[in-house]
Amino acid sequence: MKVLVAVKRVIDYNIKVRVKSDQSGVDLTNVKMAMNPFCEIAVEEAVRLKEKGVADEVIVVSIGPKVAQEQIRTAMALGADRGILVETDEPLESLAIAKLLAKVVEVEQPDLVILGKQSIDADNNQTGQMLGTLAGMSQGTFASEINVGENCVEVTREIDGGLQTLSLNLPAIITTDLRLNEPRYASLPNIMKAKRKPLDVKTPADFGVNVISGLKTLLVESPQERSAGVLVGSVGELVEKLKNEAKVI
C-alpha cells in the first residue's frame, strides 16, 4: 500500500516564543526551526509500516516556504521514499492546507494518510480532519496504535477518559498522538542518501486551489504573566495558608 505523510516546518519545540513589539505576530527571525514533533511521529509510523512490509511506498509532503525542503529531506533521511513541496511564502490556514493536501491525495491515491494531530505553533488540531472530509475518507484522530488489516485499519485513539478503538475503511486519514511511537534519529549515511531522493516542487496555483482565508489575525499579545508567590516553611504552614489566606480548601 501507499502511505502519504504530511509534515510541517515549525519553531523548535524547545524555544520559548517572543511576541513582536508591534503585536503583529510572533518573532521568528533567526529562530531555530524543525519538523513539528507530531509530524515526526507520523513519519516514524509510516516508515515502520514499510519495514513491516505493509507499505511499499512512503511519500512525504509539506506545504510552506522553500526552506521547508529541509524538513522533507529529514523525513526522507528517516526512511520516506520521495518528497513533494507545495511551495508558498504565505502563512496558510488549516483549510487551505487541507484543500492542497486533498489535491495531492487525488494525484497520488494513497491508501493511508498520516498527519500529526496538531502543529505546535498554531495549535489548531484541524488539518487531518478537514482533509478527511475533503478527500471523502474516514478518520482516526489522536492515534496511539495502528493495525492495518484487509481493506481496513484499526486505530486506537486517545480520548478524554481513556482509549477508543475504531475500524476504518481504507483509504483513511490517521492523526498521531504522542504515544504512537518514539521517532528514531536519522543516521549520517541515511542523511546523505536522502539528498539523492526525488523531491518535486509545486505551487498552490498548480493545483488551482484558492488559499484565501476567512480569518484575520488582528493582534497577537503576550499572556498575562503569573508572578512567583511565597515559599512556605512547612506542610502545616501550607495548609494554614490554603485554608485561611487563599480559602481554597
Partner 1 sequence: MSILVIAEHDNGSLKDETLNTVTAAVQIGGNVDLLLAGENCNAVAEQAAKISGVNRVLVADHSVYAHQLAENISLLVTELAADYSHVLAPATTNGKNFMPRVAATLDVSQISEITAVVSVDTFKRPIYAGNAIATVQSMDKVKVITVRATGFDAAACDGSATIESLDKVTDAGLSSFVKEELAQSDRPGLTSAKVIISGGRGMGNSSNFNLLEQVADKLGAAVGASRAAVDAGYAPNDMQVGQTGKIVAPDLYIAVGISGAIQHLAGMKDSKVIVAINKDEEAPIFQVADFGLVDDLFDAVPELAHSL
Restricting to residues 7-66, which ones interact with partner 1 according to CB under 8 A? 11, 13, 16-17, 19, 26
Tell me if 205 contacts partner 1 by CB under 8 A.
no
Cis amide linkage into residue 91, ω under 30° from 0 = no
H/E stretch holding 145: strand 138-148
Residue nearer to partner 1 on the CB measure, 27 or 56: 27
According to DSSP H, which parts of 11-159 are helical? 37-51, 69-78, 94-108, 127-134
Distance CA 239, CA 174 (A): 47
Q: Smallest gap, in angstroms, from Cβ of residue 147 to partner 1?
A: 10
Tell me if 235 contacts partner 1 by CB under 8 A.
yes
- Mask: binding to partner 1, 146-185, rule CB under 8 A, as x and -? --------x--xxxxxxxxxxxxx--x----xxx------
Q: Which of 6, 68, 95, 104 binds partner 1 (CB under 8 A)?
A: 95
Residue nearer to partner 1 on the CB measure, 10 or 76: 10
What is the total count of residues that contact partner 1 (CB under 8 A)?
77
Distance CA 101, CA 115 (A): 11
Q: Smallest gap, in angstroms, from Cβ of residue 142 to partner 1?
A: 6
Instruction: Give the count of alpha carbons within 13 A of 47, CB side only.
Output: 22
